[in-house]
Amino acid sequence: MSVNQQAHAGPPYGQPQPGYQGYQQPAYGGQSLPGAPQSQYGAYNGPMPGYQQPVPPQGSLRAPPTSGAPPPASGASHPSGHVAYSQFEHGDVQNGIPASAAPMQRPPASQPFLPGSAPTPVSQMSTFQQYGPPQASVQQLRNHMAGMTIGSTAASAPPPAGLGYASVPPVSGNFSATGSGLYTPSSASQGPPLTSVSQGLPLAQPPFPGQTIPTQRLPTQVPGFTPPPPSTGVGPSSYPPTTGAPRPPAMPGPPLPGQTVAGPPSSQPNHVSSPPPPSTMAGLHPGPPMSGLHGPPPPTHPPQPGYQMQQNGSFGQMRGPQPNYGGAYPGAPNYGSPPGPPPPPKRLDPDSIPSPIQVIEDDRNNRGSEPFVTGVRGQVPPLVTTNFMVKDQGNASPRYIRCTSYNIPCTSDMAKQSQVPLAAVIKPLATLPPEETLPYLVDHGESGPVRCNRCKAYMCPFMQFIEGGRRFQCCFCSCVTEVPPHYFQHLDHTGKRVDFYDRPELSLGSYEFLATVDYCKNNKFPSPPAFIFMIDVSYNAVKSGLVRLICEELKSLLDYLPREGNMEESAIRVGFVTYNKVLHFYNVKSSLAQPQMMVVSDVADMFVPLLDGFLVNVNESRTVIASLLDQIPEMFADTRETETVFAPVIQAGLEALKAAECAGKLFIFHTSLPIAEAPGKLKNRDDRKLINTDKEKTLFQPQTSFYSNLAKDCVAQGCCVDLFLFPNQYLDVATLGVVPYQTGGSIYKYAYFQLETDQYRFLNDLRRDVQKEVGFDAVMRVRTSTGIRATDFFGAFYMSNTTDVEMAGLDCDKTITVEFKHDDKLSEDSGALLQCALLYTSCAGQRRLRIHNLSLNCCTQLADLYRNCETDTLINYLAKYAYRGVLSSPVKTVRDALINQCAQILACYRKNCASPSSAGQLILPECMKLLPVYLNCVLKSDVLQPGPEVTTDDRAYIRQLVTSMDVAETNVFFYPRLLPLTKADVDSDSLPAAIRNSEERLSKGDIYLLENGLNIFVWVGVNVQQGLIQNLFGVSSFSQISNALSTLPVLENPFSKKVRSIVDMLQGQRSRYMKLIIVKQEDKLEMLFKHFLVEDKSLSGGASYVDFLCHMHKEIRQLLS
Ligand SMILES: [Zn+2]
C-alpha cells in the first residue's frame, strides 16, 4: 500500500536522501566492522568518515551528500571543533579511534506526509468512523475495507469455539493434579555418596600473610570434607532427569497463582510419598559423632582466609535425608551403585557449609553503617543485600556499575588460568535513593563535551592535564589533546586544575553532558517522545474485563507520564490503537467533540491512516481521550473476534512514530498467539518432547526471523516496545518477545489473568512501567584503557556493530552486562579504567550523554584477584551467559560448561592461593565461598532444568527477564529471601533475620515469607497458633485460610500491620509487583513453594546444596590431580 511502500522505499538508513542535503551529517557515527551491517547510529563518539570511504577527513568536508551516494567522508568535524586528529593510524578498534566508521547520517526518521509524497490515507485506505453516541456517521470510504461494526448485531451470538476461547480458568487451588504420575524421576534410591564434615576445625593459616585485607573479604577456612570416590561420582549429567524420561505434556489444565514462574504444579507422588531412601556414604572416615545432635552450630564465618572444608576424622551432625525427599538426586541415574538399599547416609552438616545468610549478615554488619566512598581505585563495594550510602568521589557508584572482580589480572594468561570472567554489570540510568545526588548535567557549550582526540573518551577525573593545563593526556589511549580555549584552566601545585571541585566531569565518577546537535539523528534536535497504547480487543481480552480495566486505568495514569525535573507537564504525547484481526486508530484531536475511529484492515501493508490528531498532548485532548477510553469497552463488548495479529500492531506504532519524527514507546496489551493472516503470523509449535534433546534450543528461538527484522527497524526509529501478555495458553513468548527484547523494552506476563486476583498486580506494573525514567534512542559505548576491551554484551538491546549497544529505549531498571578480555598487558601502576557513555534522549526530548567512570586495580598475584571478587556479580554474568547459551547449545552442555568453569575457578585458587592442606579438603576463596550454592541455583533454575509444571513460555519469559536483571535482582531471584514472619518484632522497623532456603529450616508452628523478585509466598505451618492465624488472615482456623487470596486482609492488629508493612517494603524494592501466593503446609500449592527452597533437592532433579558441594569438590579434585 502506498503509504507503507513510500516509507519502505526510502533510502536505507545511513544514506542521504534527496531533500535532506541541507542537513549536516550526524556526528555520532559509530564503528562498523567490514561486513557488519551499518550502524543505524553510526558512531556517536564523534564524527568519523564513512566506512565506505576510509579517508581521513579533510577538515571542512561538510558538504551535503548527494542523493543516493554513499555517505561522504563528511561528518568529520569533531563536536568540539577538532578536525585534525590522528585516529587513522590507530588500529585499536575499541580504544583507539575506529579505523572505519559507519556513515553517520541517518535519514529523516520518518517520511513526512507531505502532499504529493504521501497519500492521504483516510480518503484512500481506511474506514473512517465517527463514533460516540450516536454512532451514525460511519463513513465507508472503501468498499473493500471492512469497516468496524459498532452495532449490537453480534451481541447475542455466542463466541465461536476455537482458539482464543479458552474457558475461564478455575481459581487457584481447584486444579487437579493432571500431571501426577507422569513425571517420575528415576530411582532416587541411588543417591550420591554423602560426606560429612567436621565441626570446630582448626583454623587454617591466612593464605596471604602480611597482606592487609578488609576483614570481611578475608578468605575463610571452612570445615573440609572428603569428596566421594570417583567411582561413585555423580557427574553433572546425572542431575537432570535423564533424557530418555519422557516429560509430561504441558498441562492444559487450570491456571495457578504462581504463573510467572510456573504453571500449575502437578502433584508428585514420588516427591511426597517415597520413604526417604538411604544413600551410601562414600569416601568418609567416619569418626565419632560430634557432641550432640543439637549442639550449637560451629562458627560458619571464622575470620580466616579460605573457606576450607576439612576432613579431620570427626564429623558433624548425622542427618537423615530431608523430609519428604527421596534420595539425594531424584532423577539421577544409577552410577555403578549396586541396587538395593544402601546403608543410611551420614550427611554433611548444612550448618558447616558456607551460608548465604551468614555472608549477607556479616556484610551488613561490617559495611552497612559507613558510606561507601568511591575515591579509591579497585574498591570492592558492599554486597547488594547491604543497605549503604554511596559518596561519589571519582568512581561510579556500584548502583551503576558492579564488577566480577575489582582487581584484574595483568596478563591474559593469568586471566585464562583463573577462568574468572571479567565482566561489569552496568545499569546506566539506575534509580538512586533520595539521599544520593543525581548526576549533574554539564554543558560544555556549542562545541560539545571535551573529548580525547583519538579514542573519543569523554573528559573524566582520570585525564591528566599537562603543560600548565594547555593539554591533557588521555587515560584510556594516552593520546595528548589540546584543551579548547574555553575550557582552559590553570593547574595547582599538584597538577590538578584549580576548578577541579567545581566541575563534575573532573571530580565525580558519574555525570551527564548536554549533547549538541552533532549527537542527534539527522543533525536535528529530537522531538519529545510519544507513548502509544495498543490494546487487544479480541474476545478473550474483552471477556476477562481486561479492556475495561486498561481503559479505566489510563484515564488517570496519563496524568503521570514521565516529566523532566520540575516541568509542570510531561512533554510526551500519547496515541491509541485497538486491534484484533484489524487495527483501529483513533483521532483524539482536542478540537473534536468526539474521537474518531479509522479502521485499517489491510494488515499486510500497515500504514497509519491519520497524522494530525493521532499523537496528542494529554492536557489539550483530555476530554476527547476520556471519551475514547469510555467508549472502547462498550464498542467491543460484544465482539466475537478471537483472532489477533501482532506484527502489524508493532508496525503501526513504528510508522506512527516515523510520521511524527520522534522516538517513543509502544505499550502493547496482548492475549493470544497471533494466528490471523498477517505478517508475523505464528503457529503453535510448542513441543515439550524436545526438552532434554538437542532440539530443545528451538524452544527458545523465534520461529521466524520476521520479528528480528522488525526489531531492527524499531531500533532505528527509537521505537521501544513494552509487551503485557495475558495468555491462557501457549503464545510463543520466544517469538513475541523478540521486538521488546531487542528494543530495550520489557515483557510482563500474567498467565490465566483473572480480574479479581491479578488486576492489582498488573495495574501496579503498568503504573510503574509508564512512569519510570526512560531514555530513548539510546546508544551505549564502553571504553577501556589500553590492555583490555569490551568483547561481549548481554541484555535487551540491538547491536549492529561490535561496540555500540543500541536501545530504542532504556529504562532505569535495565542492565547491560559487559565482558572484557585482554588485548595487551596491564600494569599494576596504572590499573584499568572503564568509561561507559550512554547517549540518549530524555523524556522531554533533550539529547544527553550520561558518563560513568570506574577505575580498577590490576594484579600479578592470583590471590589478589580472588580477594577482590564479587560472587553476586559473577553469578549475574554466569546466568546470563548460560541463558544465552541455551539458544545454541543443548541445555545439558550449558550446565556442564558452567560447572566446569566454576570448578576451574576454584581449583585455580586451591592450587595457587590456598595454604597447603590435604587433598581431601575443599578450600574456597572467602569472596567466592557462595559460588557453589549460587551456581547450583542457576543450574536448577527453570531455564536450565525445568520441572514438569514449567511451560515453554515460562522458560522463554524467564530467560529474557534474567538477561536484563541487575545484581540485586539475580541475587534474590536465584537465592530467594526467606523470612520467618512469626519472629518479626512488631515494634521495630526491621525485618526478621532471614533463614536459609531449606525445608528443614521451617517450623510447623511458624509463618514464613519467601520472595524472589517475581513472587511472594506466605507459607503457613500446620501448627501455627490460632491467634496468629486470626490476626493475619481474619479466620479462626488453619483450614479456613483461603489460598485464593491475592493480598493479605487489612486487619487492625500489630501482627497484621507488621506483615503487611514487610510485604509493602519488599514490593517497593522490586521493579515488578510480586504476586502474593498463600501456601498452607501440606497443601497442593506447597509443591510450588518448595521449588524455591533452593538448598534442597528439586523436583526436577536439581541437586541439594550439600550434594552439589560434594560434587564440586570432586570436580575440583579431578582438575587438581
Ligand atoms: Zn583517548
Q: Measured between alpha carbons, how far is 658 from 111 in angstroms, rounded to an integer?
A: 7
Most confident of 3-12, 272-281, 513-522: 513-522
Q: How far is the CA of 49 from the centre of ligand 1 (A)?
A: 18
Residue 314 reports pLDDT greater than 60: no
Give the pLDDT confidence score for residue 1001 in this predicted structure.
Answer: 95
Average pLDDT, whole number, for the chain? Answer: 77
576 or 919: whose pLDDT is higher? 576
Closest CA to 1097 of 323, 334, 269: 323
- Give the CA distances from residue 196 to residues 278, 317, 966, in Å, rounded to whole numbers and listed in that order: 15, 8, 36
Residue 167 reports pLDDT greater than 60: no
Q: How far is the CA of 472 from the centre of ligand 1 (A)?
A: 10
Q: Measured between alpha carbons, how far is 598 from 601 in angstroms, rounded to an integer?
A: 10
Give the pLDDT confidence score for residue 306 in this predicted structure.
Answer: 58
Q: How far is the CA of 852 from the centre of ligand 1 (A)?
A: 16
Q: How far is the CA of 900 from the centre of ligand 1 (A)?
A: 38
- In tens, the pLDDT along 544-573 reads 999 999 999 999 999 999 998 778 899 999
Q: How far is the CA of 481 from the centre of ligand 1 (A)?
A: 8
887: left (phi over 0), alpha (psi -120 to 50) or beta: alpha
Amino acid at residue number 588: V
Q: How far is the CA of 232 from the centre of ligand 1 (A)?
A: 56
Give the pLDDT confidence score for residue 788 in this predicted structure.
Answer: 96
Give the pLDDT confidence score for residue 1044 in this predicted structure.
Answer: 86
Q: How far is the CA of 473 from the centre of ligand 1 (A)?
A: 8
- pLDDT, mean of residues 763-772: 96
Residue 337 reports pLDDT greater than 80: no
Closest CA to 742 of 832, 661, 656, 808: 808
Closest CA to 55 of 77, 35, 74: 74
Residues 48/849/847/425 CA torsion (nearest 10 deg): 110
Q: How far is the CA of 422 from the centre of ligand 1 (A)?
A: 22
pLDDT confidence of 948, banded at 50, 70, 90? confident
- The CA-CA-CA angle for residues 659, 589, 134, to 5°, reads 125
Q: How far is the CA of 450 from the centre of ligand 1 (A)?
A: 11
Give the pLDDT confidence score for residue 347 in this predicted structure.
Answer: 62
At 1101, is the secondary structure helix, strand, or coil? coil
H or E, element range at 425: strand 422-426
- pLDDT, mean of residues 306-331: 41
pLDDT confidence of 309, banded at 50, 70, 90? low
Residue 175 reports pLDDT greater than 70: no
- pLDDT, mean of residues 341-348: 55
Q: How far is the CA of 864 from the centre of ligand 1 (A)?
A: 28
- pLDDT, mean of residues 230-243: 35
Q: How far is the CA of 784 from the centre of ligand 1 (A)?
A: 9
Q: How far is the CA of 457 from the centre of ligand 1 (A)?
A: 5
Q: Measured between alpha carbons, how far is 289 from 850 in angstroms, rounded to an integer?
A: 60
Give the pLDDT confidence score for residue 566 in this predicted structure.
Answer: 78
Q: How far is the CA of 94 from the centre of ligand 1 (A)?
A: 10
Give the pLDDT confidence score for residue 490 in this predicted structure.
Answer: 96
- In tens, the pLDDT along 469-512 reads 999 999 999 999 999 999 999 999 999 999 999 999 999 999 99
622 or 296: whose pLDDT is higher? 622
Q: How far is the CA of 453 from the centre of ligand 1 (A)?
A: 6
Q: How far is the CA of 833 from the centre of ligand 1 (A)?
A: 12
* Edge-to-edge strand ranges of the sheet holding 422-426: 401-403, 422-426, 816-822, 788-794
At 1024, is the secondary structure helix, strand, or coil? coil
Q: Measured between alpha carbons, how far is 471 from 486 in angstroms, rounded to an integer?
A: 13
At 646, is the secondary structure helix, strand, or coil? coil
- pLDDT, mean of residues 996-1018: 96
Q: How far is the CA of 825 from the centre of ligand 1 (A)?
A: 18
Q: Measured between alpha carbons, how far is 538 from 582 in angstroms, rounded to an integer?
A: 10
CA dihedral over 461, 464, 469, 470, signed as positive or negative: negative
- pLDDT, mean of residues 810-827: 97
Q: How far is the CA of 46 from the centre of ligand 1 (A)?
A: 12
- pLDDT, mean of residues 326-344: 41
- pLDDT, mean of residues 269-284: 32
Q: How far is the CA of 454 from the centre of ligand 1 (A)?
A: 5
- In tens, the pLDDT along 775-803 reads 999 999 999 999 999 999 999 999 999 99
Give the pLDDT confidence score for residue 1064 in this predicted structure.
Answer: 96
Q: How far is the CA of 477 from the centre of ligand 1 (A)?
A: 4
- Contacts of the segment 114-121: beta carbons below 8 A, 24+ positions apart: 117/6, 118/2, 118/3, 118/6, 119/2, 119/3, 119/6, 121/3, 121/598, 121/607, 121/608, 121/609, 121/610
Residue 990's CB is within 10 A of a number of other CB atoms, namely: 9
913 burial level (CB within 10 Å; 0-12, 13-18, 19+): buried
> Phi and psi for 127 in degrees, rounded to 5?
-90, 125
Task: Find out whether 777 and 840 touch, Cβ atoms under 8 Å.
Answer: yes
Task: Find out whether 30 and 98 touch, Cβ atoms under 8 Å.
Answer: yes
Give the pLDDT confidence score for residue 351 in this predicted structure.
Answer: 86
How much of the chain exceeds pLDDT 90, in percent? 65
Q: How far is the CA of 460 from the centre of ligand 1 (A)?
A: 11
Task: Find out whether 75 and 24 touch, Cβ atoms under 8 Å.
Answer: yes
- In tens, the pLDDT along 350-366 reads 888 999 999 999 999 99
Residue 327 reports pLDDT greater than 50: no
Helical packing angle, 647-660 and 706-717, nearest 10° = 20
**Radius of gyration (C-alpha) of the chain in whole angstroms:** 30
Residue 228 reports pLDDT greater than 50: no
Q: Measured between alpha carbons, how far is 421 from 147 in angstroms, rounded to an integer?
A: 58
Give the pLDDT confidence score for residue 841 in this predicted structure.
Answer: 96
Residue 729's CB is within 10 A of a number of other CB atoms, namely: 19
Q: How far is the CA of 706 from the centre of ligand 1 (A)?
A: 40
Q: Measured between alpha carbons, how far is 294 from 10 in angstroms, rounded to an integer?
A: 77
Residue 745 reports pLDDT greater than 90: yes
Q: How far is the CA of 471 from the centre of ligand 1 (A)?
A: 13
Q: How far is the CA of 603 from the centre of ligand 1 (A)?
A: 50
- Give the CA distances from residue 571 to residues 388, 559, 847, in Å, rounded to whole numbers and listed in that order: 35, 11, 14
Residue 1045 reports pLDDT greater than 60: yes
Name 724's bridge partners.
Answer: 669, 748
Q: How far is the CA of 480 from the centre of ligand 1 (A)?
A: 8
Give the pLDDT confidence score for residue 111 in this predicted structure.
Answer: 31
Q: How far is the CA of 562 from the centre of ligand 1 (A)?
A: 36
- pLDDT, mean of residues 906-922: 88
Q: How far is the CA of 790 from the centre of ligand 1 (A)?
A: 15
- In tens, the pLDDT along 123-141 reads 334 444 444 433 333 333 3
> Phi and psi for 473 in degrees, rounded to 5?
-100, 130
- Give the CA distances from residue 747 to residues 614, 675, 689, 810, in Å, rounded to whole numbers and listed in that order: 25, 20, 26, 14
Q: How far is the CA of 474 from the centre of ligand 1 (A)?
A: 5
Q: How far is the CA of 745 from the centre of ligand 1 (A)?
A: 32
Q: How far is the CA of 255 from the centre of ligand 1 (A)?
A: 56
- pLDDT, mean of residues 213-242: 38
Amino acid at residue number 483: V
Q: How far is the CA of 154 from the centre of ligand 1 (A)?
A: 68
Give the pLDDT confidence score for residue 308 in this predicted structure.
Answer: 63
Q: Measured between alpha carbons, how far is 1019 from 1016 in angstroms, rounded to an integer?
A: 10
- Give the CA distances from residue 1047 to residues 1025, 1044, 1074, in Å, rounded to whole numbers and listed in that order: 21, 9, 11
Task: Find out whether 506 and 462 touch, Cβ atoms under 8 Å.
Answer: no
Q: How far is the CA of 448 from the centre of ligand 1 (A)?
A: 16
Task: Find out whether 67 and 50 touch, Cβ atoms under 8 Å.
Answer: no
Q: How far is the CA of 475 from the centre of ligand 1 (A)?
A: 7
Q: How far is the CA of 463 from the centre of ligand 1 (A)?
A: 9
Q: How far is the CA of 52 from the centre of ligand 1 (A)?
A: 24
Q: Measured between alpha carbons, how far is 796 from 406 in angstroms, rounded to an integer?
A: 25
15 or 531: whose pLDDT is higher? 531
- pLDDT, mean of residues 229-257: 36
pLDDT confidence of 225, banded at 50, 70, 90? very low
Q: How far is the CA of 851 from the centre of ligand 1 (A)?
A: 15
- In tens, the pLDDT along 456-477 reads 999 999 999 999 999 999 999 9
Q: Measured between alpha carbons, how far is 1074 from 1088 in angstroms, rounded to an integer?
A: 15
